[in-house]
Structures are given as C-alpha cells and as structure tokens.
Amino acid sequence: MAEAGAISSSDSRPPAHRVSPSVSSRKHHDIATNQNNPVDLFAFLQEHNDDLTIKVKVALQSGHALHFSDTSSQNFIPKLKDHILFRLWKLDITYCNHTFTAEEHNSIIIPNNTIYSVQTMRVYYTTYDLRREYDTINPRTHSDVMVLLGETTPSHPYWYARILGIYHTETWLNDGGQPAKQVLDILWVRWLAPLRSHPSGMNHTRLPKLAFVEESDPDTFGFLDPLQVV
C-alpha cells in the first residue's frame, strides 16, 4: 500500500467498561442486530455516483471532518462480495489473495440488496488481572483499530484501520446446492499504514506513526470481519 500524510493519534482512548459475569469469557465482540438503519446498496451507490465527495466523515483529533473522494465507493459492492465469499467459503480472511469470478459474485444473494448500519461495536478483552472488560468502537469518535498482519514474515506485526461503517446483513450462497442463510457482521474501513520514514519498535524505543493510505491505491478501502480486531 502507498503512504499518505501522517496523522496525529489522539492521546485519549475510549473508556474500558467492566463486563457483567453473564457475558461469556469467549465472546469477542457484540454488534446490535436491529434493522433501524437499512442501507440499500444500489441507492447508496447511485446517491454518490456523481458526487465529488462521498459524505463519509471521519472524526480527527482536530475536530475537523475529512471527506473522502468517490473512490471510497468505487468497487464497494465487488469488494463486499469478495469479503462475503472469503468468509462463506472459510478462506483465510487475513491473506486475501484469491480473485473471484463474476459468476461467483452472482452466487451471493443479499435480500432486497440491503445491509443494516449500526452505530457501535463492543470489543471484549481480558485484562492483565484476568477481568473481562470491553471498549466501545464507533465510526464518529473512537474509530481506529488494529488487526494482525496476514503475512508469514511481516516487517511489522499489525495492520491499522479507521472504521467507516459497522454493518450486519443476511446473505445466501446459491452455488448449486441448497442455499443456506448466513448472518454476517461486517466493518467497512479505510486502511492506515506505518510511516516507513519513522523508525519505531523496541530498538528505537518509539511507537510507529501512521498515515492514511493514498486514495489512488486500490486497497485503500476494504472490509473486515470484526473477529479480526485485536
């Protein structure tokens, strides 16, 4: 991925919340299943087809909002279908090196071409003293996450991303057998990358600096399985 200008990271982080004993110790995340905010995929693309900007706002430390160019909506549906196929076919989602055909894309059925947007996601974790807590992630105020890098010999162990949308959807795979319904939680993200010009790590006793990946890069925007968030 290409690099972009450096961004500042906030010194604050979302407050951690204690989890009640009723929450399973194996639970990774929680995303609401309500359907209060439906997103018609074709209406979404048509709405932004002629816009110079797609109105996706990202909260920055400065309090200003960025408007991503319409490249963020280009290939939205093909990339979404790629992501769904990786998950339904149980391929390695951390290393997306498979190219799907148009026929395979057409095997995905999303009822009414609609996905559902929700505002927040809870990510659960275990503290050093073995307590279960969670952070609340939302695209407006606490949107940055990291995932393990999907490479066998990485120069840096993580990928970083800014969440643009949190969705869930029903989907059916019509591949010649009996179609089976799946319900998927999906994150739409813009990727960030460590600045190569900023040495970091244990040898330099410095944390990495991150930059937005340039919009000209075809992998600037993508989708994540919430289970990948660490």
> Which residues, listed in sequence order, are joined to residue 133 by a DSSP beta bridge?
18, 125
pLDDT of residue 127: 87
Average pLDDT, stretch 50-63? 36
Q: Cα–Cα distance between 202 and 205 in angstroms, integer?
A: 5
Residue 135 falls inside a structural domain: yes
Residue 149 in tokens: 């890098």
Which of 39-53, 71-85, 177-191 is modeled with the greatest confidence?
A: 177-191
Residue 221 falls inside a structural domain: yes
Q: What is the DSSP-derived secondary structure letter of residue 116? A: E
Residue 2 falls inside a structural domain: no
pLDDT of residue 35: 95
Read off the amino acid at residue 215. Answer: E
Residue 9 falls inside a structural domain: no
Q: Which helix (H) or strand (E) holds 68?
A: strand 65-69
Give the global pTM: 0.76
Residue 30 falls inside a structural domain: yes
Per residue in 79-123, pLDDT tens? Answer: 999 999 999 988 887 777 788 999 999 999 999 999 999 999 999
Helix segments in 92-208, DSSP class H = 102-106
Query: Could you tell me the residue range of the domain that residue 169 belongs to?
Result: 17-228
Residue 12 falls inside a structural domain: no
Average pLDDT, stretch 59-66? 34
Residue 11 falls inside a structural domain: no
Phi, psi for 110 (deg, rounded to 5) = -110, 110
Q: Cα–Cα distance between 33 and 18 in angstroms, integer?
A: 22
Residue 6 falls inside a structural domain: no
- The answer to whether the Cα torsion of 196, 56, 217, 82 is positive or negative is positive
pLDDT of residue 138 exceeding 70 = yes
Read off the amino acid at residue 110. Answer: I
Tally of domains within the chain: 1
